[in-house]
Amino acid sequence: MPLFEYHCQDCDHDFEVLVRAGEKPQCPTCESTKLEKLMSASAARVGGMLSMTSACPPSSAPPCSPTCCRLPQ
């Protein structure tokens, strides 16, 4: 089961959820199904250590989501 990150368009809640094939995820806060799938950082095990790789698009591309790491916080 893959782990996905979502942003709820109804209540602005960001969350992660395991999604099985054919399932439609719901927001755990308001139970809405109006969700935007977010770009996630990938994790890879290299030599016994867990390393993170950036999932943000190049600076020439638009931001990947409302919570993009390139947007000012």
Q: Which residues contact 5 (CB under 8 A, 6 or more apart)?
A: 14, 15, 16, 37, 38, 39, 40
Average pLDDT over residues 3-16: 92
Tell which residue, 72, 15, 62, 12, has the closest CA to residue 38. Answer: 15
10-14, 19-23, 68-72: which range is least confident on average?
A: 68-72
Amino acid residing at 66: P
Task: Please check the confidence at residue 68 and state whether its pLDDT lies above 70.
Answer: no
Q: What is the dihedral of CA 13, 14, 16, 17, to 10 degrees?
A: 40
More confident residue, 69 or 53: 69
More confident residue, 51 or 65: 65
What's the token pair of residue 66? 């409302």
pLDDT score at 56:
60
More confident residue, 13 or 57: 13
